[in-house]
Homo-oligomer: A and B are copies of this chain.
Amino acid sequence: MAIQNQSVGGRPQPLAKQVFDELHRQILTFELKPFQMLSEATVSDMLGISRTPVREALALLAAESFVDVMPQRGSRVAPLRVANLERSQFMREALEVALLRRAMAAGRHEELAHGLRREVLLQQTFAAVGDKDRFYESDEAFHGLIADAAGFAEILPEILRVKDHMDRFRHLMVSGVDDLGIVIREHGDICEAVARGDAAGAEALLVAHLRRILQYVDEARARFPEYFESDADARKAVR
């Protein structure tokens, strides 16, 4: 896993942060599967480091509900919880809609539309060559442009944090949720509404765009029931 001696900007990253980032990534991509045990000892053995930074990373992951820490019983990758997804979706929608309104009220919609269109063009290219990673980067940039236009770029990290639970869910459904053609069309429609200064229309399109993921919940539960929390699990997880 190569956890040792990673550095950023010449300065070595603390191990705890490296472990957090790596576990976070693996949980979101299902390299670590829901319910998989993550005891301090096993993780620290895997990574070849001591238990202390692992423990710290697990505590931080637990604070974001990606890990369940069960005192004296063990820690595990948190199962998917529909409630988490709905909360994440609601918060993201509320925040992004508020940003869009503010951006439109600021009255620079041509400028915003210009930037958005540029990003959509990039997305078409990335989709054409099948570069999903860059596509998602551009997707985040698309939404980030709205935050910029609203004059609230500082909020972007918070939105990304909120978005994590949705991203994790998205990784389950490699097709469907990720139909790049649909995403591009939705982005394009939002662009047009923004360009013609149609605040209400843009907002409605954005909401529809963000809510689309919820349509896949039932299918995901049917295809991967073992990844979702059951009532029995909920009982066992209480402290």
Please report A residues at the B interface, Cβ cutoff 8 Å: 11, 14, 16, 52, 55-56, 59-60, 63, 71, 83, 86-87, 90-91, 93-95, 97-99, 152, 154-155, 158, 239
Q: In whole angstroms, how far apart are the Cα atoms of A152 and B16 in the complex? A: 34
Q: In the complex, which of the residues B55, B59, B90, B155 contacts A87, with contact meaning CB atoms closer than 8 Å? A: B155
* A-B contacts, 17 listed (Cβ < 8 Å): A11-B239, A14-B71, A59-B60, A60-B63, A83-B154, A86-B154, A87-B152, A87-B154, A90-B98, A91-B95, A93-B98, A94-B94, A94-B95, A94-B97, A94-B99, A95-B95, A97-B98
CB <8 Å contact, B90 and A155: yes
Chain B contacts of A56 at CB under 8 A? 55-56, 59
Copies of chain A in the complex: 2
Q: A interface, by DSSP: helix, strand, loop or mixed?
A: helix
Q: Which of A11, A60, A83 has the most CB of B within 10 A?
A: A60
Chain B contacts of A154 at CB under 8 A? 83, 86-87
Q: In whole angstroms, how far apart are the Cα atoms of A93 and B60 in the complex? A: 26
Residue of B whose beta carbon sits closest to that of A150: B90
Residue of B whose beta carbon sits closest to that of A55: B56
Q: Which of A14, A90, A93 has the most CB of B within 10 A?
A: A90
Chain B contacts of A99 at CB under 8 A? 94
Q: Which of A87, A94, A155 has the most CB of B within 10 A?
A: A94
Residue of B whose beta carbon sits closest to that of A57: B59
CB <8 Å contact, B52 and A91: no
The 8 closest A-B pairs by CB, nearest first: A94-B98, A94-B94, A94-B95, A87-B154, A56-B59, A83-B154, A87-B155, A60-B63
Q: In whole angstroms, how far apart are the Cα atoms of A147 and B97 in the complex? A: 18
Residue of B whose beta carbon sits closest to that of A84: B154
Q: In whole angstroms, how far apart are the Cα atoms of A99 and B98 in the complex? A: 13
* Other 5 A-B pairs with CB < 8 A, given A14-B71, A91-B95, A98-B98: A56-B59, A87-B154, A94-B97, A94-B99, A97-B98
Chain B contacts of A83 at CB under 8 A? 154
Chain B contacts of A90 at CB under 8 A? 98, 152, 155
